[in-house]
Amino acid sequence: MYASIAKPVLFRMDPEHAHHFTINGLKRAARIPGALSIMKKLYSVPRLPELSQKLWGLDFFNPIGLAAGLDKNAQAVEGFSAMGFGFMEVGTVTPLAQPGNELPRLFRLPEDLALINRMGFNNVGTDQMAVNLSSIRERSIPVAVNIGKNKNTPNEEAEEDYRTCIRKLHSYADFFVVNISSPNTPGLRSLQFGEDLKRLLAAVADELSAVERQSGKKLPVLVKIAPDMTAEELETVVGTIAAAAVSGIIATNTTLSREGLRHPNAKETGGLSGRPLTHRSTEVIRTIYRLTGGRLPIIGSGGVFTAEDAYAKIKAGASLVEVYTALIYEGPGLVKRLNGGLPALLRRDGFSHISQAVGADV
């Protein structure tokens, strides 16, 4: 139904218009009696013991999550939860609301099964995000809050923005994701390196400890990294993250590479996501797993369109996997197909539980 009806309509719209149309539709569905029940009947995923995991004290009934950027303002958590996701991210959110970059800023590349975006952390800010998260009536899956800095905040003051996000949203998050890898906020990616990274992670850990002392609630924090690093840079970054009080890594954000693209929109600036990122993100996951000896849980993100794509990331070292662009191209049935295909792949390789497959190729 998505391929024959919904997708042709959405793909005739401007990409960002289609995005808002979808989010608003899911938001309204949560307020219509019976709508979420219908969605669950169509798209829900059976809770299979072999796919269930406990990580960071949280229960994940399946390993497929929604990456940050689709539900930027936590408007459609109940709708996405009804699609069968095992977890999801909201955001990226910044302390102050900001409009993001100028339009147009989102581009489809159908021949490449890809998207390019230069959104620039457009979001409602932490105060309204707190309102949106607190208004969720039914939270059935872990919800991560992806946090960033405002565009006008200098890098030397960035840690205060991340502290503010943690302080204001701690009560509503199941875990945090520190976004220092978007290519669309000037200078943000430099926070991945050297003393900037050490100082930022120390500030994040300090703020988390402070709110934990006040609330008694301990939250995990993950760091999302870029795919566009040399081997030496990646080794250094992973070493710094592993030495800090960090719970895990998300690999990876969008790429600046345009290698092999065919669509004319390849000329647009911004971060590329989708099928062209499949191999590179898996290789980054493999390297992180090797460098950390599998001691730091990884969420794999980038170019997951099939169960085999997800499984490749799991065997490379990812405990969980996120989708974004594939959902745009494949529709809401994607989550069920991914989860439905994983048990057979586990059995094929002689595994009885997903945890046995994590890092098996490494």
Burial of 341 (0-12, 13-18, 19+ CB in 10 A): middle
Which residues 6+ apart lie within 8 Å of 255 measured at CB? Answer: 226, 227, 228, 271, 272, 273, 276, 277, 280, 302
The residue ranges of DSSP E strands in 58-165, in sequence order, are: 58-60, 64-66, 87-93, 106-109, 114-117, 143-147
Q: How is the chain split into domains, by residue range?
A: 2-357
Which of 182, 273, 301, 319 is catalytic? The answer is 182
**Which pair of tokens denotes residue 221?**
């924090």
* Other beta carbons less than 10 A from residue 167's beta carbon: 16
Could you list the pLDDT tens digit for every one of the 362 residues in the chain? Answer: 788 899 999 999 999 999 999 999 999 988 899 999 999 999 988 899 999 999 999 999 999 999 999 999 999 999 999 999 999 999 999 999 999 999 999 999 999 999 999 999 999 999 999 999 999 988 899 999 999 999 999 999 999 999 999 999 999 999 999 999 999 898 889 899 889 999 999 999 999 999 999 999 999 999 999 999 999 999 999 999 999 989 999 999 999 999 999 999 999 999 999 999 999 999 999 999 999 999 999 999 999 999 999 999 999 999 999 999 999 999 999 999 999 999 999 999 999 999 999 999 99
Question: Active site includes 182?
Answer: yes
**Which pair of tokens denotes residue 21?**
């149309």
| Superfamily for domain range 2-357 | Aldolase class I (3.20.20.70)
How many helices, marked H, and strands, marked E, lie in the chain? 13, 13
